[in-house]
Structure 1
Amino acid sequence: MPTATSQSLPPLTAEESNRYRRHLILPGVGPEGQARLKASRVLIVGAGGLGSPVALYLAAAGVGTIGLVDNDRVDATNLQRQLLHGTSDVGRSKLESARDRLHDVNPHVHVVLHASWLTSSNALDIMRGYDVVVDGTDNFATRYLVNDACVLLGIPNVHGSVFRFDGQASVFGLPDGPCYRCLYPEPPPPEMVPNCAEGGVLGVLPGMVGTIQATETIKLLLALGDSLSGRLLMIDALSMAFRTVRLARDPECPACGTRTITQLIDYDQFCGTPGLHADAHAIVEEVTAATLRDWLASGTPLQLIDVREPNETATGTIAGARCIPLGTLSEQLPTLATDVVTVLVCKSGVRSARAARQLIAAGFAQTRSLAGGMMHWDTPYPR
């Protein structure tokens, strides 16, 4: 939490005072509270469905420094719920798109971009120095990693999750409150982990949950009201029912209890996301759409694998490609040839790069990722 005294808080400019006028007249905020927001640093992990409303509202509220962690590109399928990005941003880095949008919302906000997937080797360095971490991720592996890093650093973790028509929100990691692993001590087995592409999500639901996360973050920064620490807010959008479940800190929690963790691990294999961060620093060689077309036309021996989900490949894929969803790639490794060039394909090139790292780690030396994925196959870049 911010530790600045009222004497050391940054002053508001005349333009800022005018911009935040509705805050300045609020009991519990006022000029000092607004200055505290200006001095605050918040890290948002994920610039997607949850990260969009969180980032937009924190920027509008005047949070001085907003850090964003993501390494994905904008896909047309994101636009149904990820309001940080627009149609003209498709194919761009999500971080660049988010930065431009947030600066348009509030040019006084400093946006720090962390263009990386969060891993056990970089999480502490990225998160250190922030007052609050907002978990806007969509997979269990990163949720557990965010929680454990927050526990180690003593940083509040504002949690949110969505699936289909249901959402959850809470605040974890306060000194007297539970952490995420008090609620879910161990990651679920792979067969129990739903896939976002398969399960889907109602587009407005991340907006509802993300707005709650933004509210909880501002309350923490201002030490205002009662946070969701010790409570899990559950939302059923179909019946528009909100239910709160009490949570207690677990003395036997593997993260914050008597067996307090001392180091981070990556949870990919536990959570059914093999290859999500496998050898995350390995260099993946890419092949352009034009070069791949030439290889196919000339009959160059190669193994073409589409790692998208069945509902995606049902709309079309490259002729001759074998469809193996990323989540099942590890179990299919024995069926793959190791003596030919392997080209991995996905929608934008992000999942195929993860798959390529997984194959490289498994000994597939001649592995390539299609640059830009199917978006560039349909509209190939020049050579």
Structure 2
Amino acid sequence: FIPVISIDIPSGLHTDTGEVLGTAIRARYTLCLGLWKLGLLQEQALDYVGKTELIDFDIPEVDIQAVLGKMPEIQRITFPKALSVLGSPGGIPSKFPSFSLFSRSLITHKYKEGSLLLICGSQRYAGAAILTALGARASGVGMLSIAVPESLKFLLISHLPEAIVIGCPETNTGVITKLVLPNNMDINKFDAIACGPGLTTEVNSVIYQVLESKIPLLMDADALNILANILGLSLLTNRQVPSILTPHLGEFRRLFINISEDRIASVQTAAKETGAIILLKGARTVISNSKGKTWVNPESTSALARGGSGDILTGLLGGLITKVAYYNISLEDMVTTAVWWHSQAAILAANERRELGVDGITLANYLTQVICK
């Protein structure tokens, strides 16, 4: 075949949305000139743009600001190199953390490496609890506590003997009815909470409990469905501490009904409306905070299109956000780092194992290799 190279953007694609305007060129490579075009970062353009690269010819920032009014705040995640900013070809340095054993202080201890409370799992979705916990383990979190239905307690202990596993009251069908912590535990003494995978949509009271907490909260899967269908977004917007939502497209549509084909703009709007950091999963994962600063992961793999991938990400990200204060790294940097490591672990696993889809346990194991590089 003849390789096709497009200059700036493949002909026929909308510059901002990536929409195909009738007929479009399918390029193997796209060489973007000067400034990144939003359309290149949209999922619907992926089949047409191929591998993208920015050709920097030193457009002065003063000229960019004269046209746009300010420098764009949309960034492509890269690691460990500097972030490449749309509109700023040189990029800006960003401090990405390295949590390999050798980078830790010799006098650190388990509480300085973060304390995370996971709330996940049900009899029907016991695997989700295990995978979420394995993702958290890969983050290097110092103290991991896992709240599950009482009937799953010993199953979780068998997979993660180092964790504190909290058995909670459950229904006849194995769903948590209430979050009950041991007497010496205060929910607000954890550094972060991550909840949702495998809970089912019957745990309204549990989600209400965590929304009232005074610590950073990560919500995924069924926690998002309960928020969308039962509790409403007002409980989220009233929180005075950071919240992170990690929906896939279906969950995102349930949460935010009026969304456009422009994923980036939709995520930015959702983040501003809720005050939360929104992480929309997909082939081009988009992250935005309430101030409109946005990141796009330019590298992913279809190997993540397998059940359990999102559970691993929830655990990994939950573990990383417990470290924000101790490592003096911004919450947004932790979120982008988790997304990058997650995708890179899947790419590495798929390439080495020659697999079309990477299972959750393998993904968790490869996370360690990526993190400790």
When the two structures are superposed, what TM-score results if normalisation uses the length of structure 2? 0.30
Q: Which has the higher contact order (CA 8 A, sep 6+)?
A: 2
Max Rg structure: 1
When the two structures are superposed, what TM-score results if normalisation uses the length of structure 1? 0.30
